[in-house]
Amino acid sequence: MGAHRHLQPHRRNLRHHAIQTQPNRRNPRRGRLVRHRLAHASHPHAHAKRLTMNNSTLIYLHGSESDSTSGKAKQFREWFPGMVTPDFTGSFEERMIQLEPILAEKSDWTIIGSSFGGLMGTVYTCKNPTRVRKLILLAPALLREPFGSFLDLQPASNPVTIIHGTRDDVVPLEAAREVAQTLFTNLTYLIVDDDHRLHKTLHELDWKKIFQERGL
């Protein structure tokens, strides 16, 4: 695997480097790393408002200590009216039980999961790959310790984009990436100069492009 470059985004002309994995015929559990460049607009708000897709199949899964009133949830609802932003409470198992009937109502979902919500989105996608159009994970809690029992999953070929900050002190980037590369064969890993909350990055990315891209 080649070295990964971590670049700080320029405020006016933002470009981040991403790593994308392509299916490996000899070993489908691990992808082949290639360089992939993902461009972002300097004004994501305008792009988001022009998004022509079914926003009712966009769902945001918040983190363990968050809810539908969080900054990310509010911002996504503003940019994508009709986006589903439910509340989850309790243990991981209880949250998955709460999630199942919501996603059973439709298919072709684009799931955006933040931190603990990223773990939820990962487990659901690997178990129900035909119901998920794309998975987008924000600093996902893909950690063998303490969540290894939930991560014994079959790899999924769905398009997956993971956005993770180099200054994340809650979910170590490298530990999460190691797990992600065993679970997803169509993976784009976007490394940004941000912390676990990704508040700065939220307002810098072109979400229209990220939601619409289908990967390989």
pLDDT tens digits, 78-110: 999 999 999 999 999 999 999 999 999 999 999
Q: What tokens were used for 170?
A: 């809650």
- Give domain 45-212's CATH architecture: 3-Layer(aba) Sandwich (3.40)
pLDDT classification of 18: cutoffs 50, 70, 90 = low
Residue whose pair of structure tokens reads 């790593």 in the numeric block: 19
Domain segments of the chain: what residues?
A: 45-212
Mean pLDDT, residues 144-169: 96
pLDDT confidence of residue 19:
53
